[in-house]
């Protein structure tokens, strides 16, 4: 199995390492044509405005829409979630609208720009512990009816799924190796099974 990591900006290298720890071949995607050779895509954290500009410049917007339309799974973390959301606030910016949520950027305020917390992800395979690193993270302010919450922090959704689109407001690639591996493998297993 080959999974692409959008490698235009942000934390793509650690995502690629996390995938490889699961025995999944990670492909750093820098050109739209490289999406033809992968079965899933991770859009990493970083800076969503910059990422968006690069995606537009490299013609990734329509290619990722087609990738999603072909039923292939996409996982967006932090800035990646902002790119995938239906609506973005603070400020408003263009997004792909592939998951029916509204997100507010940088929504934890100055005092808590970055923090860590632990939680639990409720997956089909059962609950698994999560260590969550939030870095200038967005908050999910609205969930559409088709969106399933997979993990919460202080009663708010921090990981969610709609069909084959999975999102997290935190950075899974930064946490402890074992956790990260279990986490990524379970998610991939889940997205795989949902394809059948
Ligand atoms: N604050 C960033 C943004 O709004 C996201 C931060 C991140 O990906 N860690 O795009």
Closest listed residue to residue 145, CA positions, set 126, 171, 164, 163: 163
Structural domain count of the chain: 1
Which residue, judged by its Cα, is nearest atom 5 of ligand 1? 79
Q: How confident is the model at residue 131 (pLDDT cuts 50, 70, 90)?
A: confident
Compute φ and ψ for 53, nearest 5 degrees: -60, -45
Range of the domain at 13: 2-193
pTM of the model: 0.92
| 173 tagged catalytic | yes
Of 5-19, 85-99, 166-180, minimum mean pLDDT range: 166-180
| 78 tagged catalytic | yes
Mean pLDDT (whole number) for 52-67: 97
Give the H/E segment covering residue 151. strand 148-153
Token pair in block for residue 40: 């899933």
From the list 15, 22, 68, 78, the catalytic residue is 78
Mean pLDDT (whole number) for 162-171: 94
From the list 15, 68, 104, 173, the catalytic residue is 173
**For residue 60, what is the domain's CATH number?**
3.40.50.880
Mean pLDDT (whole number) for 66-87: 97
Q: How confident is the model at residue 186 (pLDDT cuts 50, 70, 90)?
A: low
- Can you give the pLDDT at residue 127? 82
Q: Is the pLDDT of residue 179 over 80?
A: no
CB contact at 8 A, 82 and 101: no
Q: How far is the CA of 196 from the centre of ligand 1 (A)?
A: 33
Atom of ligand 1 nearest to the CA of 134: 9
Mean pLDDT (whole number) for 127-146: 93
Measure the CA–CA gap between 141 and 145, rounded to whole angstroms: 13
Q: How far is the CA of 9 from the centre of ligand 1 (A)?
A: 11
Q: How confident is the model at residue 126 (pLDDT cuts 50, 70, 90)?
A: confident
Q: Is the pLDDT of residue 154 over 70?
A: yes
Ligand 1 pocket residue status of 15, Cβ below 6 Å:
no
Measure the CA–CA gap between 94 and 3, rounded to whole angstroms: 25
Provide the CA 11 distance to its chain's centre, in angstroms. 11
Mean pLDDT (whole number) for 89-114: 94
């Amino acid at each position: 199995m080959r999974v692409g990591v959008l490698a235009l900006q942000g934390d793509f290298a650690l995502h690629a390492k996390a995938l490889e720890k699961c025995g999944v071949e990670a492909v750093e995607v820098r050109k739209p044509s490289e999406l033809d050779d992968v079965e899933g895509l991770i859009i990493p954290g970083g800076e969503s405005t910059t990422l968006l500009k690069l995606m537009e410049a490299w013609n990734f917007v329509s290619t990722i829409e087609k990738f999603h339309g072909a039923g292939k799974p996409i996982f967006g973390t932090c800035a990646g979630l902002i790119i995938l959301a239906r609506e973005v606030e603070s400020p408003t910016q263009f997004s792909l609208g592939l998951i029916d949520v509204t997100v507010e950027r940088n929504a934890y305020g100055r005092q808590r720009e970055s923090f860590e917390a632990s939680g639990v992800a409720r997956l089909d395979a059962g609950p698994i512990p999560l260590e969550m690193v939030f870095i200038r993270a967005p908050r999910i302010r609205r969930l559409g009816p088709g969106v399933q919450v997979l993990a919460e922090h202080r009663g708010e959704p921090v990981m969610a799924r709609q069909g084959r689109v999975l999102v997290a407001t935190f950075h899974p690639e930064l946490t402890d190796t074992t956790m990260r591996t279990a986490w990524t493998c379970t998610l991939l297993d889940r997205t795989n099974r949902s394809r059948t």
